[in-house]
Structure 1
């Protein structure tokens, strides 16, 4: 896991090598080289043997990394794979010593073990295949800056007084300059012609579950694809090992036992936990699949966004909500807890309450914290926090309706206490329930459509509305689509607004049937977008701006300015960390709360079929 850089003289900093972790056992001229899984790879790394055989007449057990060095002086994992097969020069960087001449050194502080190790290896020419891994005491930021400037993968921070422990501990921190890590291969997608492999389907293990992490389809030569496909064919299974896989990915996939481990470079991890712009680097035979977890930089992100879970607990107490099980993880495969969500809503409350306060709402609550069993709640249930308000109103048709609403931050926190992951709101205030203050066009695309189609649809809808005199603003839903939101002066009733929105959707479906449908049937939506006007009836709701979603990764519905839309490649671009940071900036919907526009008869006549 990438972590913040520690400070103090009790920390040592070393280069993070991009290679194979190995232990070297030496007894006189006898040398054995073992991978971290205990496999004897002496033969594969025979190019390293000469200096190791001459190191001592006694016995030692060394810990270190086997690497290949490229022309720029950087460790290169892809070149290492080639080097093993071709016998090109490799290097072993020793960074620890566990035993010397029968004496167990593992109980000594790291700084003392390294002194023994340095004395053993001594100063060596840079061309020698055996090297001592030097370190710097304190001054970790300077070391990190040097590693980043040199294009290296990162550094390792180690407690100077730590005893030797074979596994990673809090006294040993990996701090990366680049974004790359191991992923387990859970399947593959075939090429368009049905032959060969187009991309690998990746996963990691999180709390005992095999979690989908996206795909990688670049970085392969033809020979690599053929070799990997042969390895996967030998591991074919009928059903995926993943806890869940997006349906559009699963539709054409072939599944394998999750045993193969691949090194992958990527641009970022998306809010739903998938790799973006991934590139294959090579296979890792030195690491067990069960050891592979997502190396998310959660500590850094918490600090950057201010979403401190301890602060969340304090906020809950301050607004009078008893937050039970505050450390419960709310999104599988993440570290987002209930306390994180409280901190998030505190960060966005000022902007969110403008769209939420005093509006009848529906809550989407999670039952098992696995996103698999959520349910809607529209009225008061036993045990609900008092900071969530409950009452009744009379609808246009004369029926009484029980409602919930929120007045301030304490209501949002009360919702979090109830495991609420989504806040959906009416388009009207509860005091004037018959007169909507907004109209929403929800663009819901077929799963196979690229997000570029959704963005173009949103801007086209904006432009058509503008020609008849209505301004609109975009909301990325945190899921697949975009909401085009039209603020209204509350004069026309729900029947007028729903009729207008339905006519508008049906007009687009008739004039551009290859792009739009006005029928919610998924069968009719194939290759097209459903323009959902049903949000505009009394009692219907739409996701509130700044609300979290009950979707993987803790994504958020975020308001945008129109000019920002082109820069996004998905509707779930913002998780709670990114959204909280964004909320501290200027308002995106400039003019939304001050524009005065009504649905005139002329507007209704223009779009009526």
Structure 2
């Protein structure tokens, strides 16, 4: 608690705007980033922990003295929250968009949702806890790391008295268990865990997690049971939407004052229905229930959910006007044991191996010297990323990089079957364009990936074609390999420039962090051109860049001639050549991984090995960075070929 208090009360110098600050338009509302409920507390220095407060989520848009307060549904509630406006109106001469929570604080220093409802109506003092900065003076910050956004927000807010209605939401790095225990002991609702390097995504993600001390959520009011006297309301009949149907979740009859009951009953009477909107209701409830349109939302605490799906010991906390009934579903804690919380559980890895039928020998063997990453950890990792990785590896001929004795300097390539290989790694034969036949390996499911882990595989490299169409590649790869003296900033800019040239030719591309020191620019293709045509195009493209920008690019792989420049490796585009598979681990210290990213995200990253297995597992739970990759249909045309010659 002392550490948390220090973080919350730390003195911060107030940033002063220049007198010449230009005028910026009022920032527009954005969809909120939402938290995923979990029981697991993530670990690691890349996780920040904030106090979970119980209030109304809000975005505050500011342009000079003009302030607009938006609810989570984008409604303008500036008038309802006018008591928090004065410090916001004086915050900046420029423009900002801030994400945070509006709360009422009780005499014990806890956020109190019931008080908040009363406070809005009565104009009582409220507080706005600001925890994220999405836009500043017209600059979009959403793609910057969360920690950077919070630092800029903290500088903007400056030092604030405890009584000020505008407050910065402090955080603690790592130590999630201690923070959570302190919050629960203090009677607070719980904690919010956020990845320090995460960008702001207007969706529910696992880079933001909520861990609650008590079970609490919103429920749709579908009816009520009248009191025994026939006048008044005894309890509310609750439900949640599941697959479009309103499912009965029980009744709540405690937590109300008489004034609350009277006010809620008046709202219910305006929404009367003859029949229940629930998909089904227990017979004893149906006999006495009175039904209403499912439009009102109540927040309820409860002890647990019974096996039949009803609430045990529920207690009413308040009505919510900031949430739509149609959006209310039963929250289920997400199991994060496969790595979504950067907490790859070795025990779960062992269980997953058994479940897919792979006998995992020496599961506790350390795979990366100086770390705690074991075979079982890697099984958990591949389970976490399998959904994203399998489309890139299924049915593609493989080359495997295997470890021998725990020394990453002593790895070897394998392209053919050896005795003792797991059955989940398949072996077969195909005919090449040259007329020669070749033995190949491939996998088609999670069991195949875990079979590789059992064989001490640290890298999966794939062909650019399927084994069923070995002569027709599905993609091109431009591997940017920099000279040792160049930084990652040079590589990123090169990738962006290559993207620009490809777009001018009419080709879409996607960036892959290699997990080493470079970036792969990947271009999906409809499998029509053969390997010779594709390789010839890639070579012409590389030589075109080397001719037009010789100070930066070279198309010759000689390291002696590369000094100060980047080799655009087109050689990975020949039949039989391979490239690292997206989401594969690398045989490098630090357990880095090859991770797909967006073009918008690439400029914010600091290295090609920015994701270790923990960060990559968490990234795999986010919306797909390569959305649309497998749907795009593009081919090499004569116009494109002539343009690069």
What TM-score do you get using the length of structure 2 for normalisation?
Answer: 0.49
* Residue 370 of structure 1, CA deviation: 2.1
Give the equivalent residue in structure 2 for 1:506: 543
- Deviation at residue 600 of structure 1 after TM alignment: 0.9
Of 583, 600, 606, which residue of structure 2 is paired with 1:563? 600
Within 5 Å, which residues of 2 pair with 1:106-125? none
Distance in 2, Cα, partners of 1:330 & 1:595: 37
| C-alpha separation in 2, matches of 1:599 and 1:312 | 43
Pairwise CA distance, 1:535:
0.4
1:241-273 per-position Cα deviation (integer Å, ceiling 9, x unaligned): xxxxxxxxxxxxxxxxxxxxxxxxxxxxxxxxx
Alpha-carbon contact 2:585-2:591 (below 8 Å) kept: yes
CA shift digits 1:349-404 (9 cap, x unpaired): 11101010000010000111121101100010111111100011000000011100
Q: State the shift of 1:523 in Å.
A: 1.0
> Which residue number in structure 2 is paired with residue 365 of structure 1?
402
**Structure 2 Cα separation of the partners of residues 154 and 546 of structure 1:** 28
Measured in 2, the distance between the counterparts of 1:428 and 1:583 equals: 24
The change in CA–CA distance for 1:156 and 1:492 in structure 2 (over 3 A counts) is closer
- Alignment counterpart, residue 559 of structure 2, candidates 522, 531, 539: 522
Quote the Cα distance in structure 2 between the aligned partners of 1:464 and 1:494.
Answer: 22
- Seen in structure 2, the aligned counterparts of structure 1 residues 153 and 470 have a Cα distance that, compared at 3 Å, is closer
Contact 2:337-2:344 within 8 A present in 1 as well? no
Q: Does 1:439 align with 2:476?
A: yes
The answer to whether residue 637 in structure 2 is matched with residue 606 in structure 1 is no
The residue aligned with 2:426 is 389
Alpha-carbon spacing, 1:389–1:450, altered in 2? closer, same or farther (3 Å): same
Tell me the secondary structure at the aligned position of residue 477 of structure 2.
Answer: strand
Displacement of 1:447 in angstroms is 1.4
- Give the Cα–Cα distance (whole angstroms) in 2 for the partners of residues 558 and 500 of structure 1: 26
Write out per-residue CA displacement over residues 149-204 of structure 1, whole angstroms, 9 at most, x where no aligned residue.
Answer: 699998998xxxxxxxxxxxxxxxxxxxxx9xxxxxxxxxxxxxxxxxxxxxxxxx
Alignment of 1:9-88 (within 5 A): none
Q: How does 1:309-458 map to 2 (within 5 A)?
A: 309-458=346-495
Cα gap change, 1:301/1:496 in structure 2, threshold over 3 Å: closer, same or farther?
A: closer
Does the aligned pair in 2 maintain the 1:359–1:426 contact within 8 Å? yes
- For residue 306 of structure 1, report the CA deviation from its aligned partner: 4.6
- Contact conserved, 1:15 with 1:155, CA < 8 A, in 2? no
Q: CA deviation at 1:300?
A: 11
Partner of 1:460: 497
Alignment partner, residue 580 of structure 2: 543
Q: Tell me, yes or no, if structure 1 residue 476 matches structure 2 residue 513.
A: yes
Counterpart for residue 118 of structure 1:
none
Cα pair distance change 1:602/1:301, threshold 3 Å: closer
TM-score under structure 1 length normalisation: 0.52
Query: Deviation of residue 329 (structure 1)?
Result: 1.0
In 1: Cα distance, 2:174 partner to 2:444 partner:
49
Paired residues of 2:515 and 2:611 also in contact (CA < 8 A): yes
Is 1:583 the counterpart of 2:620? The answer is: yes
Deviation of 1:499 (Å): 0.3
2:590 pairs, out of 536, 553, 557, with: 553
Distance in 2, Cα, partners of 1:464 & 1:580: 32
Deviations 1:481-521 (A, max 9, x none): 00000000000000000000001101111111110111111
1:305 CA drift (Å): 2.8
Indicate the residue corresponding to 1:531 in structure 2.
568
- Deviation by residue 1:433-476 (Cα, 9 ceiling, x = unmatched): 00000000000001111111101100111110111111111001
Question: CA shift at 1:15, angstroms?
Answer: 7.3
Q: CA RMSD in A?
A: 3.5
Distance apart, 1:301 and its partner CA: 11
SS in 2 for 1:441: strand
Count of residues in Structure 1 that have an aligned counterpart in Structure 2? 341
Q: How does 1:256-271 map to 2 (within 5 A)?
A: none
Contact 1:15 1:156 survives alignment (8 Å): no
Structure 1 residues 339, 301: closer, same or farther in 2, change over 3 A? closer
The DSSP-based 3-state class of the residue aligned with 1:531 is: strand
Q: Secondary structure at the match of 1:506?
A: helix
Q: SS of the counterpart of 1:412?
A: helix
Q: How far apart are the structure 2 equivalents of 1:494 and 1:467?
A: 23
Q: Do the aligned partners of residues 464 and 389 (structure 1) sit closer, same or farther apart at CA in structure 2, a change above 3 Å counting?
A: same
Q: Match for residue 167 of structure 1?
A: none
